[in-house]
Amino acid sequence: MKPIEEIQWVRPGLAVWGGYDATTKVDCCSTAIKTTAGLLVVDPIPLSAPAADELGQPSAVYLTSGNHQRDSLVWKSRRDLPIYAPTHSRSEIQADHWVSSGEVTALEATMIDLPGGATGESALLIHDVLIMGDAIIHLDGLAILPAKYCNNPRELSESLPKLLEFSFTTICFAHGWPIVRNAKDALAKLLL
């Protein structure tokens, strides 16, 4: 994938970038969010040097799926960053730290397992921002990951409503642009 030239600031401290990936034949997006512990980059796709400089120096990379190694190893090597990933994705990707469901890391991110999606499927909750892996996409409207990409579509459908137990105002996606208004209501409408 060609490096993305521009980031979009959703609000202060929250940025996204995205573009079409010819290999996977889908639009891919990445998120960067500032916390008191530093800047976290989630599911990074390639970003041009000037755009990466605009973000500032990240403290860590987080992955939300066993399918999301993406450009994380490049970010790790160029910027000396640790990679955090869901414990149940160990067989699929390389990471420095494995995070269990419900665990709140020192970097203020809570990992939420979403069984039934792809291997290691999860979401991250960071303050009032929910960052989705592949379980929910926002390409042609909000949708659950198509069954053909799931390990167990029924299990995924049963696991998704637990996201509504959390408090969030914004949803960012690995596939699609963020929802910044009435995000929880939009997700509830899809899931209930």
Q: What is the DSSP string of 127-152?
A: TTEEEE-SSEEEESEEEEPPGGG-S-
Mean pLDDT of 102-106: 88
Report the CATH number at residue 139: 3.60.15.10
**Is 2 part of any domain?**
no
**Is 3 part of any domain?**
no
* pLDDT at site 143: 98
Beta carbons within 8 Å of 24's beta carbon, 6+ residues apart: none
**Is 1 part of any domain?**
no
**Is 168 part of any domain?**
yes
Expressed as residue numbers, the domain containing 34 is 8-191
Q: What's the domain count of the chain?
A: 1
Q: For residue 75, what is the enclosing H or E element?
A: helix 72-79
**Is 101 part of any domain?**
yes
**Is 92 part of any domain?**
yes
Give the position of tokens 């995924």.
Answer: 156
Name the DSSP letter for residue 43.
S
* pLDDT tens-digit series, residues 23-69: 989 999 999 999 999 999 999 999 999 999 999 999 999 999 999 99
* pLDDT tens-digit series, residues 112-122: 999 999 999 99
* pLDDT at site 72: 97
* pLDDT at site 106: 80
**CA–CA dist 151, 169 (Å, integer):** 29
Whether pLDDT at 10 is above 90: yes
**Is 79 part of any domain?**
yes
Q: For residue 28, what is the enclosing H or E element?
A: strand 26-35
**CA–CA dist 91, 74 (Å, integer):** 20
**Is 98 part of any domain?**
yes
